[in-house]
Amino acid sequence: MPGRTHSIVIDKEKCIACVACSQVCPTRAIRVRDRLAHVKDELCIDCGSCIPACRYEAVRAMTSSPADLQRFKYTVAIPSLTLFGQFGREVEPAQVLHALRRIGFDATYDFSWMCEMVAGATDAYLSECAGPWPKISVTCPAVVRLVQIRYPDLLAHLVPLETPRELAAKVHRRRLAAEKHLPPEEIGIFFVTPCSAIVNSIVSPVGLDASHLDGAFAISELYGPLLKALKEAPVADTVEAVSARGLRWAMAGGEISGMRNANSMTVRGVKDVTYVFDHIEAGRFQSVDFIETYICPDGCVSGQLTVAGRYEAQQAVHHHAHRLGAQSTVKEEKVRTLLREHFFDFEAEIRARPVRPLAQDLRQAVALTKEKDALVARLPRKDCGACGAPTCETFAEDVLRGESKLADCVFVRIEELEQTLSGKGGDA
């Protein structure tokens, strides 16, 4: 497998092998073995649920570090719109952009207008495409991975339009290279991300051969320096035209709020996303045109790499969007032309990554499934997690795949011990 396919890193020094991360993982991708948590590549969707679950700060996302900026002649920060909601209502987007330039980036680029463009393109796409319905947004990379892994039948439902952050990086790199007379590869474009899913969408992109972004800094890592810069130089040196419609993409419901097509809905949180996807697979929700979905409970403002509480952040984003007003910065005809010119298209196909069956041959798979059922029946079914697998069922599968031993279950071990002891007692 080329490169890694998830962005979660476990710190060997800090991990105490307590299974808290493995218990919260919605796709059951984490196992604790040999006194260390391991993430299974083929199951991880980079939702980042494990990051706040760890009380020992042993789980983190593979974000960029200041040293990465040194590799480039010219560096640009593209902040997630969520960043604008991190400093309360009083700090305006222009001030945040100014602060980003003060902490070490040569330039900043606000991509809220690109969000508005993609919303327009989605409208145009929905009016021209033939189904299957409903169409599903690709904004949240964790949702895309969930579809690849668990809902391959829904791949045809994904809106095949590139995300605003990638389009913005692509367009801006081209423009900067011309303006600054720099080779494109000497320009470093970094996203300031609220979540681990976006980090991974850069490391191992989907729908793209290579990301147009060079890395991502976590909001939580830049927060301290930004706060300091905001105190030192609170007044922005330029006026920035931030799109209110784009800004709302920081919150669940934001994407559809700026769209013409109102036959849509927002689904938040991994539990609800799973529920709705199960139902779409079963043929429900066909009368809905578009579904905006987020793995995080309130959209990007509730990403694990943010600092502000999600309600405080929402309040701030609402405030800024309201102040900016509802005027559109994007021309509809221009968007339709760009859509026809394939500007928004994916550069690569999104492929299914289905979890492998227990065996390729049906008879063999049936035999293993029966073995698994028997194994589960023998296990305590307390889902205590002490064996390192999150549930007795996943443990049984691991045993069948040869990845765990039955004796890793403490209950089985106690049982065996008791039998041995009583056996000995009988002899005496």
Binding site for another protein (CB under 8 A): 152-153, 278-279, 281-285, 354-355, 357-363, 365-366, 369-370, 373
Cis amide leading into 132 (omega within 30): yes
Nearest CB to another protein, comparing residues 341 and 361: 361
Nearer of residues 278 and 415 to another protein, judged by Cβ? 278
Triad 25, 28, 29: Cα angle to 5°: 90
How far out from the chain centre does Cα 386 lie? Answer: 28
CB 299, CB 311: distance < 8 Å = no
If the CB atoms of residues 196 and 394 are measured against another protein, the closer one turns out to be: 394
For the bound state, the minimum distance from the C-beta of residue 264 to another protein, rounded and expressed in Å, comes to 16
Output 348 or 355, the one with its CB closest to another protein.
Answer: 355
Instruction: Compute the distance between CA of residue 167 and CA of residue 186 in angstroms, rounded to an integer.
Output: 19
Beta carbon nearer to another protein, 93 or 269: 269
Nearer to another protein, 238 or 287 (CB): 287
Minimum CB separation of residue 192 from another protein in Å reads 38
* Minimum CB distance to another protein, residue 287 (Å): 8
| Beta strands in 155-213, from DSSP E residues, in sequence order | 187-193
Q: Confirm if 80 and 219 have CB atoms less than 8 A apart.
A: yes
Contact indicator for 193, 199 with CB cutoff of 8 Å? yes
Whichever of 333 and 361 has its CB closer to another protein, that residue is 361
Strand segments (E) across 44-134: 59-61, 74-79, 107-108
Q: Which residues partner with 76 through β-bridges? A: 107, 189
Report, in Å, the least distance between residue 153 CB and another protein: 5
To another protein, the closest distance from the beta carbon of 369 in angstroms equals 6
| CA distance linking residue 377 with residue 371, whole number of Å | 10
Smallest gap from residue 44 Cβ to another protein (A) = 18
Residues 220, 307: contact at Cβ < 8 Å? Answer: yes
CB of 383 to another protein, least distance (A): 16
Residue 400: CA atoms inside 13 Å, Cβ hemisphere, count?
22
